Homo-oligomer: A and B are copies of this chain.
């Protein structure tokens, strides 16, 4: 613990991520100076991850760095925004330089991949927690919202669901060795893939979108509430990965897919007249898209089997402060 926070910021955080011409002034002054493009709205989000709450305290530092940025890029993706800038507030119990180096490696790799510049932040002593703020651009009036789903719209999800919840169970088993399936599920937990290009492609196609952080049932519920509609979802259509099927029995996979958090896939609604576009979008983005249900009048989410019988699943979703 030889370095002050000023040394650490200089050595590990200055210039992290991509270089961008719209960053007039980056890390190192009282504030960053940024030049947003004209004619576009700035999408701004923030997500804090607390050790022991949002991620296991013993998660690899590189994964923590990756995930802290990924969950924010996922929020931008759900708005159809193009990521550009991020700030980082890192609170650490001590200045463990190896941990910090690994953390910034994970953060920086993902930032460069999405052309995101780290433009500011701070470093404090305290219980381990990471707060990232991300900003991106979206053409005026083209952002994806939660409130425009209409009865008859198809409900889609990207990727596979429930992997992160099963990955967490696996991580907590603390196995000495992991097979490929288990390692993949744990990677889905620790290094989620923000669906940035998919979000961009869904502009002008999806009527509503959200990213799945608290579980499908709860997050789709936000779309339903925001749009004043209900939905029916066929649980037999929920996309479950092969590694998930190998690890858990069918019932548990289904519950994880319907209510498990942390997958950071997108859930979105598409009117019938635009359904023909989806194949091309899946192909351009390389992301599997699955139609899981339909928006209907009324309110609430009905989880049913393919034959229409109620699925009878317990789907609480994650809440920090429960009633």
Using a CB–CB cutoff of 8 Å, the interface residues on chain A facing chain B are: 1-8, 24-25, 28-36, 38, 41-48, 50, 52-54, 75-76, 78-79, 81, 85, 87-89, 91, 94-95, 119-127, 129, 131, 133-136, 138, 140, 143, 145-146, 209-211, 226, 319-323
A48–B5 CB distance below 8 A: no
Complex Cα–Cα for A300 and B125 (A): 27
User: What residue of chain B has the Cβ atom nearest to residue A77's Cβ?
Assistant: B30
| Contact between chains at A50 and B125 (CB < 8 Å) | yes
Q: Within the assembled complex, what's the spacing in Å between the Cα atoms of A8 and B319?
A: 12
The 8 Å CB contact of A122, one of B36, B48, B138, is B48
Contact A33 B321 (CB under 8 A): no
| A-B contact list, 19 entries, CB within 8 Å | A2-B323, A6-B319, A24-B41, A29-B146, A31-B45, A31-B81, A31-B134, A32-B43, A33-B42, A34-B43, A38-B38, A46-B120, A47-B89, A48-B91, A53-B124, A95-B320, A124-B320, A125-B321, A126-B129
Q: Please, which residues of chain B bring their CB within 8 A of the CB of A78? A: 30-31
Q: Which of B30, B43, B126 contacts A79 (CB 8 A)?
A: B30
Q: Which of B53, B124, B138, B226 meets A50, CB within 8 Å? A: B124
A89 in contact with B131 given A24-B41, A48-B124, A125-B50 (CB within 8 Å)? yes
The answer for the CA separation of A131 and B38 in the assembled complex, in Å, is: 29
In the complex, are the beta carbons of B127 and A127 less than 8 A apart? yes
List residues of chain B with CB within 8 A of the CB of A79: 29-31, 33
Identify which of B32, B45, B88, B91 contacts A32 (C-beta below 8 A): B45
Q: Which residues of B contact A88 (CB under 8 A)?
A: 46
Q: Which of B4, B87, B126, B211 contacts A127 (CB 8 A)?
A: B126
Which residues from chain B contact A131 at a C-beta distance below 8 Å?
46, 48, 89, 131
Further 17 A-B residue pairs, CB within 8 A, beyond A29-B146, A32-B44, A50-B126: A1-B321, A5-B320, A8-B321, A29-B79, A30-B75, A31-B44, A33-B42, A44-B85, A46-B89, A46-B133, A48-B131, A50-B91, A53-B125, A89-B89, A91-B129, A95-B320, A126-B127
CA distance A250 to B138 in the complex (A): 57
A41 touches B46 (CB 8 A): no
Q: A44-B135, A46-B89, A138-B33 are in contact. Are A3 and B323 (CB under 8 A)?
A: yes
**Cα-based distance from A143 to B25 in the complex (angstroms):** 10
Q: In angstroms, how far is the closest chain B Cβ from the Cβ of A263? A: 15
Most buried by B among A24, A28, A75, A124: A124
Q: Are A321 and B95 closer than 8 Å at their CB atoms? A: yes
Nearest residue in B to A34 (C-beta to C-beta)?
A: B42
Q: Known: A143-B33, A210-B30. Is A44-B319 also a contact (CB below 8 A)?
A: no
| A76 touching B31, Cβ below 8 Å | yes
Determine how close the nearest CB of chain B comes to the CB of A146; give it in whole angstroms: 6
A267 to chain B, nearest CB (A): 11
Docked CA distance A160–B209 (Å): 51
CB pair B29–A34 under 8 Å, yes or no, is no
Most chain B CB within 10 A, of A52, A123, A136, A320, is at A320
